[in-house]
Amino acid sequence: MAEHEKKNRENHKQHEPEAPVNDGARVSESPVDTKAFEAAIAEAEDLRQRLVRWQADFENLRRRSAKEVLDAGRIAEGDFARDLLDVLDHFESALSVDPAKTDAASLLQGVKITYDELKKVLQQRGIQSFDPVGEQFDPHKHEAIAQQPASDKTPGSIIQTLQRGYMFGQKILRPAKVIVAAP
């Protein structure tokens, strides 16, 4: 058996590749064009510099855009507040009236003018009120305060609005407070 192992080792040695001889000198697999290599390094550095500048430009643009959005929001808020000042002026006028010298009809007319002015300002800003009487109850748009039996109404339909709801576009600002027909 020792002879058999000896033959296997000799066979194995014949199939092994020779190890490269390295006498300490730098071995190169293929010749390198030094000018092309330096040009590639210079191009890579140029691309890196451009990337850094683009990243900085992008970050500046992102910051500037965020500031502009914030400023636009503040301007819109300021415009809205300025529009509400007329309503505030109407309230101040009503509060400065001497009740002993003013009849109820005149006071009611002043309140109506103030109400109409406020409603106009809200509508100009896209805020609409809604009265859902007759609609089916929707928990996303309505807040049920009570249920009442109503034989002539469909169960789950709104039979009375206690407080109107308000929307800004399609967004509910405040749900309507309602009484719903009981099943």
pLDDT of residue 151: 85
pLDDT of residue 38: 92
Is this model's pTM higher than 0.85 or not? Answer: no
Can you list the domains of the chain with their CATH numbers?
Answer: 36-125 (3.90.20.20), 129-183 (2.30.22.10)
pLDDT of residue 90: 87
Euclidean distance between CA atoms 129 and 91, whole angstroms: 21
Check if the beta carbon of residue 87 is closer than 8 Å to that of residue 122: no
pLDDT digit string, tens, across residues 92-135: 888 888 888 888 888 888 889 999 999 999 999 999 999 999 99
3-state secondary structure of 167: strand
pLDDT of residue 107: 85
Euclidean distance between CA atoms 144 and 140, whole angstroms: 11
Stretches where the chain sits below pLDDT 70 are 1-32
Check if the beta carbon of residue 178 is closer than 8 Å to that of residue 143: yes
pLDDT of residue 11: 55
Angle at 55 between CA 57 and CA 51, to 5 degrees: 115
pLDDT of residue 18: 52
pLDDT of residue 146: 96
